[in-house]
Chains A and B, each alone.
Chain A
């Protein structure tokens, strides 16, 4: 500290005078800094909203996503739990996009790829023929609660590989060897498209991302999104779309129901 090496400290009246000078100077600096801070706060809170939050905050959310994608790994797994940790039916939350009934046998999953026609349709039993996976993990709701639950179904990764989806060539995805063959994003929606989510491909192809027809060892109920729903261990619950009806692979970042209403688009855990 240069101050420490200063010549002998001032005493008496000289000290009092110097203290007055220092006080004036420092309080002025402090007042200017406080005003600048208040101005910055005003600017931030009144900045034009982008999808429900001031645009600078939206920028930071995107920046946080890029940090998470750079420092994180698509191979990190969410913790799993023994099957006994699951008790009773899973908690439900939200009915958006679930109006009316859907008949399992008549149900078809529509698949689209950007720049490719026509769309494909896939029957439930063809999806159910894929290798079955049971995952007991902790669902985290953005509201702050969490619950250990069972999700039974097939891996999204196995699903796209089996039906030649998500890639421009129609071959099985190879994120490391041939990343440009993959579309960048996937859009998933209920049959009526009232509820919809957007995902980056890395999250969609995560080994703990499932298409589920069973929860807590019971067949999927209407409230949980029968006949088929999405479950992601690497995102908040609002990304785990119920009652899947449409999947579209595309390069443009897809819209997302809750991200359109102020929440983080990425929502990666």
Chain B
């Protein structure tokens, strides 16, 4: 026996999906900009493990020698990213959706439970609810990362007008590095997100499009 239950409100679904192309364009144009001074690498004890990014990587994706184009798109789509993000935060606050999203006192234990369950180290699923503890942490975290991208982005966009913000973030070059690191964070978030969506299955994915899911209900009398 299944029951039709509302899951994701319409504004959340729209803002979620609008974010997909907007963030894609922001990351793509950001890479066009980063290419012009690609100084970041992962080093352990003087040994470079990975350089962001190898030359073949830029060539394969056509990311080299397009700094001006990158800046043109980045400084146009930043408005969409900021407005969409702001709408999301305001909507979650005023609709009460934040209750499902923000971590609460049960979250740490639930998140650990969910992670163990996902890694098949624990059989019982985490307690039912729209979002489990791990999801609450991840989805709140990614919103904070969005705020961080906006702040670090503004700090490197207007380091004179917003000198205080830039200083607060450790200076111009630190702010640039933070802006880059947050983007790496999005990509990692995205990878885990996709794996989890695939694992959760069709009913869950469909809910992000239609807003509803078919939830199993226990038969009367067996409770």
Contacts and interface: CB of A to CB of B under 8 A. Distances in A.
Given A11-B217, A19-B214, A143 B36 contact: yes
B172 interface: yes
A78 B160 contact: yes
A68 B69 contact: no
A32 B17 CA distance: 13
Contact of A30 (B166, B209, B214): B209
A37 interface: yes
A14 B21 CA distance: 35
Contact of B75 (A23, A61, A144): A61
Interface in B21-69: 21, 33-34, 36-37, 39, 67-69
A9 B211 contact: no
Contacts of B88: none
A12 B214 CA distance: 9
Most central of B3, B158, B161, B211 by chain A CB within 10 Å: B161
A26 interface: yes
B210 A23 contact: yes
A258 B71 CA distance: 13
A57 B75 CA distance: 8
A144 B6 CA distance: 47
A56 B76 CA distance: 9
Given A12-B1, A16-B2, A72 B37 contact: no
B9 interface: yes
B209 A1 contact: no
Interface stretch (A101-109, A112-120, A191-199, A261-269): A261-269
B35 to A, nearest CB: 9
Query: For chain A, which range describes its interface: under 10, 10 to 19, 20 to 34, or 35 or more residues?
Result: 35 or more
A33 interface: yes
B158 A268 contact: yes
Contacts of B2: 11-12, 15-16
B5 A79 contact: no
Interface in B134-188: 157-161, 163, 166-167, 172-173, 176
Interface string B2-20: 1111100100000001000
A76 B4 contact: no
B73 interface: yes
B163 A10 contact: no
B1 A72 contact: no
A1 B9 contact: yes
A186 interface: no
A123 B221 CA distance: 101
Interface in A3-57: 3-4, 6, 9-12, 15-16, 18-19, 22-23, 25-27, 30, 33, 37, 41, 52-54, 56-57
Contacts of A200: none
Interface of A: 1, 3-4, 6, 9-12, 15-16, 18-19, 22-23, 25-27, 30, 33, 37, 41, 52-54, 56-58, 60-61, 64, 68, 71-73, 76-79, 138, 140-146, 233-234, 258, 261-264, 268-269
7 contacts: A22-B211, A26-B211, A37-B21, A60-B75, A138-B172, A143-B36, A263-B68
A-B pairs, 6 with minimum CB distance: A144-B37, A262-B68, A57-B72, A15-B4, A143-B36, A60-B76
